[in-house]
Amino acid sequence: MRRESMSNKHLLDFVRESGGTEMVLGLFDQALGDFTLPAGDTLSRANFIRRLLVERGFEYDDTVFCADKLLSLKRGNCLGYALLFGAMLLDCGDEVSFQVITHPKDAIHGQDQKLFGKLFRGEHFNYDNPKLPKIKDAPPNRAYRFFPLEHPSLFVGGKHFEVTSLEDLDEDPSWIPNAERVIEISFCELLSFVKIDRAQCLLEQEGDNLQEARDLVANGLKLWDLNREGWLSLWRIAFDLKDCELQRFAFSRYQAIGGDDSRFFQGMYEMTLDECYLKLSLERFPENILPFVSRYVELEKDAREAKFNLAVAAWCIVNSSCFDLERFYVIHEGLIRKLYGDKVWKTLFR
């Protein structure tokens, strides 16, 4: 099947939910050029697309998920590539679904465990004199997580197909690690994450963006009413807007969808401040830094213990691709000044 004989329906859906127009299809043609998808089963077509993207210079970038930027920069994350692969296959008439994997127990998870263990055992600094990292200590390539990510991927022919394995074509894309939670969803349901992630990007910008972010999340939830983390996002926005009715509704939906994974219990603690949820979250993922900070720093009564645990958390965060150390310090300024003093606080940003 040649490119010009493909339907553009799903690709256009991806473009529009990314905030773009039909003009973005021109970027698709520029980025991928003319190609012919081979005859055969869906899995062979998925492998062809993988090779095609590598040949055209596409790379992984954990910040890019919208269609226009992915195609113009030739860079994307798991969400962007899952939707691009999926749109191309669906527009050829193939049957495709998607998996969302919460907290994959992969090699990075193993690295998280090792570094956290060394820090917690005091192998990197003395218990009575713990050192906080400075902003400039962040490595250029942060390979750790310390957070239960949601990872979207393809599901074709009854098999997982990893869309981000673009560096080594000999790597088996069907391999899937154990995870806390794996669910199968549709293309439309996966599109809901684009709206919700766009809202999160908006909230990270300067200015009063709460109303617009609320509308983006609400529209994302119209695409998939069971997007659990979308309801948590809506709850957070409602909290900032002081919209108590919306908070109650978002909480009820989040709780009703439920789960037995660390991320669910982390969200439940945020919304209820019931400490039993911290315990449950950390039982499932001890290296999950946000509940670790809540339980072992913010709620810790022993100042020496809290000070040490804060250093453990900060060194995890400075090495994590999921967090921003400067933002973490700003949020916890009062706690840092209390435990470390004003003098140390002033040195952290130099």
User: What is the DSSP code string of 149-183?
Assistant: -EEEEEEETTEEE-S---S-TTS-TT----EEEEE
Crossing angle for the helix pair 187-203 and 9-17, to the nearest 10 degrees: 20
pLDDT digits 0-9 by tens, 27-47: 998 998 888 888 888 999 999
pLDDT score recorded for residue 132: 97
Alpha helices in the chain (DSSP H): 9-17, 25-32, 42-55, 67-73, 78-90, 107-120, 187-203, 210-223, 228-241, 244-257, 262-272, 275-284, 289-293, 303-318, 325-331, 333-340, 342-347
pLDDT digits 0-9 by tens, 331-343: 999 999 999 999 9
Distance CA 187, CA 225 (A): 14
Query: What is the three-state SS of 188-211?
Result: HHHHHHHHHHHHHHHHCCCCCCHH
Give the residue among 300, 267, 232 at the shortest CA–CA distance from 148: 267
**Residues in Cβ contact with 61 at an 8 Å cutoff, skipping those fewer than 6 apart:** 73, 75, 76, 77
Crossing angle for the helix pair 187-203 and 210-223, to the nearest 10 degrees: 170
Between CA 238 and CA 276, with CA 230 as vertex, the angle to 5 degrees is 80
Q: Is-contact 153 160, C-beta < 8 A?
A: yes
Per-residue pLDDT, averaged over 51-62, amounts to: 93
Q: Is-contact 89 173, C-beta < 8 A?
A: no
Q: And the tokens for 202?
A: 């908006």
pLDDT digits 0-9 by tens, 90-145: 998 999 999 999 999 999 999 999 999 999 999 999 999 999 999 999 998 898 99
Q: For the chain, what is the mean pLDDT?
A: 93
Q: Does the pLDDT at position 211 exceed 90? A: yes
Q: Does the pLDDT at position 2 exceed 70? A: no
Q: In this structure, how many other beta carbons lie within 10 angstroms of the beta carbon of residue 325? A: 24
Q: Can you tell me which residue has the tokens 């939670």?
A: 181
Task: Classify residue 36 by its DSSP letter.
Answer: B
**Residues in Cβ contact with 42 at an 8 Å cutoff, skipping those fewer than 6 apart:** 89, 94, 95, 96, 156, 157
Distance CA 234, CA 213 (A): 9
The alpha carbon torsion through 213, 215, 220, 221 (nearest 10 deg) reads 120
Distance CA 34, CA 58 (A): 16
Least confident of 110-119, 140-149, 164-173, 239-248: 164-173
Q: Does the pLDDT at position 6 exceed 70? A: no
pLDDT score recorded for residue 39: 83
pLDDT score recorded for residue 5: 54
Distance CA 177, CA 146 (A): 17
Distance CA 314, CA 134 (A): 9
Backbone angles phi, psi at 300, to 5 degrees: -75, 130
Q: Does the pLDDT at position 68 exceed 80? A: yes
Distance CA 116, CA 289 (A): 10
The number of residues in the chain equals 350
pLDDT score recorded for residue 274: 98
Backbone angles phi, psi at 89, to 5 degrees: -70, -45
pLDDT digits 0-9 by tens, 279-324: 999 999 999 999 999 999 999 999 999 999 999 999 999 999 999 9
Per-residue pLDDT, averaged over 199-208, amounts to: 89
Reported pTM: 0.92
Q: If pLDDT is split at 50, 70 and 90, which confidence band does 24 have?
A: confident
pLDDT score recorded for residue 1: 44
